[in-house]
Amino acid sequence: MSSHDAAPHPFGAAAINLLDPRLGAAALSASDEFFAPKERMLNPDVAVFIPGKYDDNGKWMDGWESRRKRVAGHDHCICRLAFPGRIAGFDIDTSHFTGNFPPAASIDACRIDGDPDTATAWQTIAPATSLTGNNHHFIASDSDDVFTHVRLNIYPDGGVARLRAYGRPVTDCTRLRGQRVNVAAVELGAYAVACSDQHYGSPMRVLFPGRGINMGDGWETRRRREPGNDWCILALAQPTAIDEIEIDTAHFKGNFPDRCSIQAAMVTAATDQSIVTQSMFWQMLLPEQKMAMDKQHVYKGEIGGIGPVSHVRLNVIPDGGVSRLRLWGRVA
């Protein structure tokens, strides 16, 4: 795990953090944020502790922290998900909060247009759970409904370093039929199935919108010291015949792959583990291409006509970093 990635979670490879601000999630309101602002709680980076750092209100903490409550009640923070989605579970992370973490927390959710107000009806999907300091708390959701917002309740007060809501975006794919779209988009439901290595960054990032903001915003493997090459397998949002490919090495200069290729297949029934084995024998969608540093590589005529595919295997030869992958086609 790189210093930029969240802790590994138990909710499956297809689950993404629906509270990632890079995808559009936001902390909307909090009952109190005297010691540390609510926005820090959604920071996609791993929480840090800086000894000796103070601000005007006290010790600087990397997360959301309310003041000590001297009256009845509890504090809460309302957040908007990046996309409407089904939530598999949460990570309530109290990293570095040792004498100031909440003893317990619960999570409510709602599905609405716009943002919540005093009339909003909330549904509890993670009942009150005891917390400990400096720890990750993985809590499964009690509901398979689609939600747009969550409310973290802490009892009675304290600090939470990070809140993650792992799940899948829910998109009405019928509206995509006949349209030409990027089916390697996390917001449409694409996800990373597996990879050979993710020492410096998860392959899920190649599916993120926009261009990478720096070298840490992409998939990067360690330096390979043995024969072979690195790879990642991606499940597309919808089976599609690909007619345009973009491989972006933005910000990767001394560590971009020397070459890349893409294999692909229509997978109808398989487990994630069996897909890894099968992928070695998939057809070539994009033959081996020479890469350049910090560049958007666009391919059209080089693409093999193999028909609709549901999964791709991006090969980086022999190793290195890729910022984004775009796979364009007309949805069947």
The CATH class of the 16-169 domain is mainly beta
Helix (H, G, I), strand (E, B) or coil at 38: helix
CA dist list (Å): 309 to 142, 157, 192, 198, 262: 34, 50, 15, 24, 12
Q: Give residue-wise pLDDT tens across range 209-237.
A: 999 999 999 999 999 999 999 999 999 99
Q: How confident is the model at residue 4 (pLDDT cuts 50, 70, 90)?
A: low
Task: Quote the CA–CA distance of 179 and 243 in Å, as a whole number.
Answer: 13
In the structure, what pLDDT confidence band is assigned to residue 8 with cuts at 50, 70 and 90? confident
**Identity of residue 79:** C
Question: Does the pTM of the predicted model rise above 0.75?
Answer: yes
Per-residue pLDDT band at 1 (split at 50, 70, 90): very low
Could you read off the pLDDT of 258-309 as tens digits, one per residue?
Answer: 999 999 999 988 777 889 999 999 999 999 999 999 999 999 999 999 999 9
- Reply yes or no: is the peptide bond before residue 169 cis, omega within 30 of 0: no
Cα separation of 4 and 2, whole Å?
Answer: 5
CB of 83 closer than 8 Å to CB of 170: yes
Q: Are both 16-169 and 173-331 of the same fold?
A: yes
For the cut 90, the answer to whether the pLDDT of residue 124 exceeds it is: yes
**89 by DSSP, 3-state: which?**
strand
How sure is the predictor about 331, in pLDDT bands with cuts at 50, 70 and 90? confident
- The listed CATH number (3.40.50.11540, 2.60.120.260, 3.20.20.70, 2.30.30.830) that belongs to domain 173-331: 2.60.120.260
Domain boundaries, the chain: 16-169, 173-331
The per-residue pLDDT of the chain, averaged, comes to 95
The answer, yes or no, to whether residue 64 has pLDDT greater than 60, is yes
